[in-house]
Amino acid sequence: MLIRIEGRAGRVTLNRPAALNALTYPMCLALDAALIGWRDDPSVDLVVIDAAGDRAFCAGGDIAELYAKGRAGEYHFGQDFWRDEYRMNARIAEFPKPVVSLMQGFTMGGGVGVSCHASHRIVGETAQVAMPECGIGLVPDVGGSFLLALAPGRLGEYLGTTGTRMGPGDAIFAGFADTFVPQADWPALIAELCTGDVAAIERFARPAPDAGLPALLPQIDRHFGGETLGDIVRSLRADDSPFAAGALKALARVSPLAAACTVEMQHRLGEAPPLRRALEMEYRFTFRAQEHSDFLEGIRAAIIDKDRSPRWRHDDPAAVPPVDVSRMLMPLGPQTLTFTE
């Protein structure tokens, strides 16, 4: 992670392009420390966050290390990582100065946490934004559950459980981004931002590419409005439309427990939750994830053995016992996530 001051801007560049800029624990701590330092620095008017390479802004957290520590029973590593990452996510959202993020390529999971809580969120033509955590046995976190709860209709349940990728138009429609700027214009835009002129974004903004989600919203609202994941799956199974078939195929690839918890979290958060409340609820799941969920098995199947054949704890997404969901989302007592520096 490259951290420096250019002109009137605090500049952060994620710089692991060969690893799709996957977010490590030290990167989280470095970004958080930079924000704390710039918060009251009169020489910094705004913060600009971008990433090196063409393929990704940030494809997610560095889950290989979480897997190794979890397999060794060192659950505290993941618990510490998520706690400090979520505090950093909140600091971005609550920062008293403008924070501008520029998203290209894969922007997923931990990358959403860095970019989509900024006050000014820019997407380019290659942006692919998603919360695919259920596919590795985790729930949408890093404040993703908060963003999903604010999305129109039942998009939160749909995007959160299926991990559907959003191009720039859909990311703006769903509330994960604000402005489309062609990537060829980014160097000139950043140069103007470094003068402290956040209004430059308006001058560079262009109409976003067409979004596909608005046309799907009636079907999404019809099928993803159930009280539980089981209700959603049964509704989809009773429909022979291409949309239902595609949604069922996506749900068949994810952890039933994680998807069931994702739906429950959306319902608990409601339509306008405080970000800190969403992060605290996410931490209830991730605190327990390595020991009590499908998380380690999901990583094994996806990136360790790469057999794409995870053995989930539940066979049928329509039959996850409510008590299993409740256990993952119970308050943590003394371990509850707080937001101290």
pLDDT tens digit sequence for 187-232: 999 999 999 999 999 999 999 999 999 999 999 999 999 999 999 9
Catalytic residue among 45, 50, 85, 141: 141
**Residue 110 is among the residues annotated as catalytic for this protein:** yes
Interior CA angle at 60 toward 9 and 265, to 5°?
105
What count of other Cβ atoms lies within 10 Å of the Cβ of residue 270? 9
- Categorize the per-residue pLDDT at 64 as very low, low, confident or very high, splitting at 50, 70 and 90: confident
Average pLDDT of the chain?
Answer: 97
**With 80 as the cut, is the pLDDT of residue 134 above it?**
yes
**Domain count across the chain:** 1
Rounded to an integer, what distance in angstroms lies between the CA atom of residue 286 and that of residue 329?
Answer: 9
Give tens-digit pLDDT for 73-101.
999 999 999 999 999 999 999 999 999 99
Give tens-digit pLDDT for 277-320.
999 999 999 999 999 999 999 999 999 999 999 999 999 999 99
**Residue 74 is among the residues annotated as catalytic for this protein:** no
- Work out the percent of the chain whose per-residue pLDDT is above 90: 96
* C-beta of residue 229 within 8 angstroms of C-beta of residue 318: yes
Q: What is the pLDDT of residue 204?
A: 98
Nearest to 288 by CA among 69, 131, 138: 138
* C-beta of residue 264 within 8 angstroms of C-beta of residue 325: yes
What count of other Cβ atoms lies within 10 Å of the Cβ of residue 153? 17
Domain that holds residue 193: 1-341
Compute φ and ψ for 308, nearest 5 degrees.
Answer: 55, 30
Give the mean pLDDT of 141-169.
98
Rounded to an integer, what distance in angstroms lies between the CA atom of residue 312 and that of residue 293?
Answer: 9
**Residue 135 is among the residues annotated as catalytic for this protein:** no
The three state secondary structure string of the chain is CEEEEECCEEEEEECCHHHCCCECHHHHHHHHHHHHHHHCCCCCCEEEEEECCCCEEECCECHHHHHHHHHCCCHHHHHHHHHHHHHHHHHHHHCCCCEEEEECEEEECHHHHHHCCCCEEEECCCCEEECCHHHHCCCCCCCHHHHHHHCCCCHHHHHHHHCCCECHHHHHHHCCCCEECCHHHHHHHHHHHCCCCCCHHHHHCECCCCCCHHHHHHHHHHHCCCCCHHHHHHHHHCCCCHHHHHHHHHHCCCCHHHHHHHHHHHHHHCCCCCHHHHHHHHHHHHHHHHHHCCHHHHHHHHHHCCCCCCCCCCCCHHHCCHHHHHHHHCCCHHHCCCCCC
- Work out the percent of the chain whose per-residue pLDDT is above 70: 100
Give the mean pLDDT of 321-339.
98
**With 80 as the cut, is the pLDDT of residue 69 above it?**
yes
Nearest to 82 by CA among 327, 330, 280, 294: 280
- Measured N-to-C along each axis, helices 155-162 and 213-223 cross at an angle, to the nearest 10 degrees, of 90
- Categorize the per-residue pLDDT at 62 as very low, low, confident or very high, splitting at 50, 70 and 90: confident
Using DSSP bridges, classify how beta strands 9-14 and 99-103 pair: parallel, antiparallel or unpaired.
Answer: unpaired
**Residue 226 is among the residues annotated as catalytic for this protein:** no
Q: What is the pLDDT of residue 341?
A: 73
Catalytic residue among 10, 60, 61, 70: 61
Q: What is the pLDDT of residue 272?
A: 85
The CATH code of the domain that includes 119 is: 3.90.226.10
- Categorize the per-residue pLDDT at 257 as very low, low, confident or very high, splitting at 50, 70 and 90: very high
Model pTM score: 0.97
**With 80 as the cut, is the pLDDT of residue 155 above it?**
yes
Nearest to 69 by CA among 82, 58, 57, 50: 82
Catalytic residue among 50, 133, 157, 282: 133
Q: What is the pLDDT of residue 340?
A: 83
The region that residue 80 occupies, defined by phi over 0 for left and psi between -120 and 50 for alpha, beta otherwise, is alpha
